[in-house]
Chain A
Amino acid sequence: MDFLNAIVAFLNFVIVPATAYGAQLALGALGVTLIYGILRFSNFAHGDTMAFGTMITILATWGLQSLGVTAGPLPTALIALPLGIAATAALAVGTDKLVYRFYRQSKAKPVIFVIASIGVMFVMNGIVRFVIGVGDQNFADGARFLISARDFREMTGLDEGLAIRTTQAITVAVAVLAVVALFWFLNKTRTGKSMRAFSDNEDLALLSGINPERVVFITWLIVARTAGIIDKLQTLHLFQLLMISPAIVGERPTPGAILKFLIAYSEIAVTYAFRRWVRLYRPRAEPRMLQLLSTEYKFAHQLYDPSDRASVQTHRDHERKIGMNLTLDRKAAVLFALVAVLYIGTGFVQSWNTALSILNMGLISAIMALGVNIQWGYAGLFNVGVMGFTALGGLAAVLVASDPVGGLGDQAAGDPCALMGAPPFAPPLHFGAR
């Protein structure tokens, strides 16, 4: 019985929320990788595009609710979703016409696109902030649970409950449908194949009479379609952060999206355990702790990303050529040990809260150092631009540090952090009391 209880508890607190969360990430990652694969840039504005879609969906849901229209046991938001998708599509296509097309026609380098997308990100962000704000918005209705914890306990006679929210179930179902439909589209239809062709070899696609503007248009439409399915605005900033990494490394939609899905599992599994621990022993440190774990994860992710086959290959070739190795000599080991001692000392002597923020900063710096290292190793180049990124990191750190507890909802810290890839927010944990 204890064994069953343990399994149910694990399902309830880890598997179910992680599946729903992972489905969201996978959807988002799909959109970003699609943009990367076909339009060839990492779209920083994707998260905010999604936020816009969500905003429209929420507004439409409120409208429908006030008119008394509901979908019975299903959330009203489901009826409003098509509107959200249509609005997002219009926004995406409009942005493309206004912004990206110009750069495409002048054959701008990808980095220009990325920078333009950062501009778009701020604009969209501004619109969403202005209209609806960034806090949690409650628009849930219909049956809240597919199975509630109490029903489950009564049904099975176990001590632990298993709750599945309607939104969670819908999210997963929609994600699965979207992925299946997308794969079918890309592999079986003429238009889908032409998009793959465009992504594979743009010049040859032109020579085959494939119209790039049409490919771009359809890409944005699909991206908009995958972007409409989120239940909380707050989730979006995490999206921004997590999706940028597969976009940078992933060539095809598959591996990145699936990888993110797995990561969602591990992330929730890891943070959940620590969250419990932190809440019991260090209540005030909780937000930072989570943030720290996310940074750490990011760090590991950058060090070795299995989906990044190409870079692994170049790395190997490079290694063979110049005999480079990942080195950890004695001097470095001593340095690390010293840092660890100082860190633990700070924890005992001053406070663990301070120690946590120090560690967080340390990890951020380490990520930055890693970036410089990689660039130097591969390109033999000292990049002054990294200083700019470091400065942004500093800014982000200050923003985060100045608002230790309430920082979870503050978006101001989000965007600079997004720029350097350090998540300031905890993952949206669907479990436990908030």
Chain B
Amino acid sequence: MSETSPFLIGEAMTGGYGKGADILHSCTIAVERGEIAVIVGPNGAGKSTAMKAVFGMLSLREGRVVLDGDDITALSPQDRVVRGMGFVPQTSNIFTSMTVEENLEMGAYIRRDDFRDTMEQVYTLFPILKDKRRQAAGELSGGQRQQVAVGRALMTKPKVLMLDEPTAGVSPIVMDELFDRIIEVSRTGIPILMVEQNARQALEIADKGFVLVQGRNAHTGTGKELLANADVRRSFLGG
């Protein structure tokens, strides 16, 4: 349990879906305590796959996942939730037929204590959700849905939050706001590991960045380093 090792790390992960070909090839992603780590890369690079692998949603052929010093490679996703991991997947990340409030309640499913405080915190973070709390989540706009999704994941009071493209499909203004909210969450001490399509903006707020290409680590460094790297700029940031 050394203090210098990352809080959450998927280390040298190799694996794919079911019996199919490997999609990840010795891929490593990690996040340190109190930091924001961002994963960028072209479509189909395996970013979502890497996130799922860290969350135990596909079985690894090689490599391991370590959370706070414990090897959790063999744990099921539910057990990882209990261990304090929260995950917002890229797609179908809300319960569309249930109300906003029920979505948050389901987020808190594993908690047996009173979670009204946490719900209030989520409502403070995303005030629009409070107005819409009796509405079916499926009836919300794309940006509002993303807020529900993040709110749901926050309900467990996770020790680490994993977000797969939280700003997908939202307008630039809402995107800026979401980034602000994410920074706010990270300030409360929750490490955040996220995949982002808006690479430049994401790397600006990132402490650590990972560039994946075809299931492999292409570049790794601090956000600033990657933004300054000519190679990365040319291939991923449009010059």
Contacts and interface: CB of A to CB of B under 8 A. Distances in A.
Interface of A: 190, 193-194, 196-197, 200-201, 203-211
B89 A203 contact: yes
A209 B81 contact: yes
Given A193-B102, A204-B89, A210 B109 contact: yes
A205 B78 CA distance: 9
Contacts of B78: 206, 209-211
B109 A204 contact: no
A201 B105 contact: no
B98 interface: yes
Interface in B35-55: 55
A209 to B, nearest CB: 4
Contacts of B89: 203-204, 207
Contacts of A194: 106, 109
B124 interface: no
A103 to B, nearest CB: 16
B95 A201 contact: yes
B15 interface: no
Binding site secondary structure of chain A: helix
B92 A204 contact: yes
Contact of B106 (A197, A203, A211): A197
28 contacts: A190-B109, A193-B98, A193-B106, A194-B106, A194-B109, A196-B97, A196-B98, A196-B102, A197-B95, A197-B98, A197-B102, A197-B109, A200-B96, A200-B98, A201-B92, A201-B94, A203-B57, A204-B93, A204-B94, A206-B78, A207-B77, A208-B81, A208-B106, A208-B109, A209-B81, A209-B82, A209-B110, A209-B156
Given A193-B106, A207-B81, A200 B97 contact: yes
Interface residues of B, number: 23
A211 B98 CA distance: 18
Contacts, number: 59
A206 B77 contact: yes
Contacts of B98: 193, 196-197, 200
A258 B82 CA distance: 40
Interface of B: 55, 57, 77-78, 81-82, 87, 89, 92-98, 102, 105-107, 109-110, 152, 156
B92 A207 contact: no
Nearest to A211: B78
List the 5 shortest-distance A-B pairs measured between CB atoms, nearest first: A209-B110, A209-B81, A200-B95, A197-B106, A200-B97
A207 B153 CA distance: 9
Contacts of B82: 209
A205 B103 CA distance: 10
B107 A208 contact: yes
A205 B106 contact: yes
Nearest to B138: A200
A200 to B, nearest CB: 4
Contacts of B81: 207-209
B77 A204 contact: no
A31 B82 CA distance: 32
Contacts of A207: 55, 77, 81, 87, 89
A219 B168 CA distance: 35
Most buried by A among B78, B107, B156: B78
Contacts of B93: 204
A211 B76 CA distance: 11
Contacts of B107: 208
A2 B78 CA distance: 68
Contacts of B77: 206-207
A107 B209 CA distance: 35
A205 B82 CA distance: 13
Contacts of B95: 196-197, 200-201, 204-205
Contacts of A193: 98, 102, 105-106
A196 B136 CA distance: 13
Contacts of A190: 105, 109
A190 B109 CA distance: 8
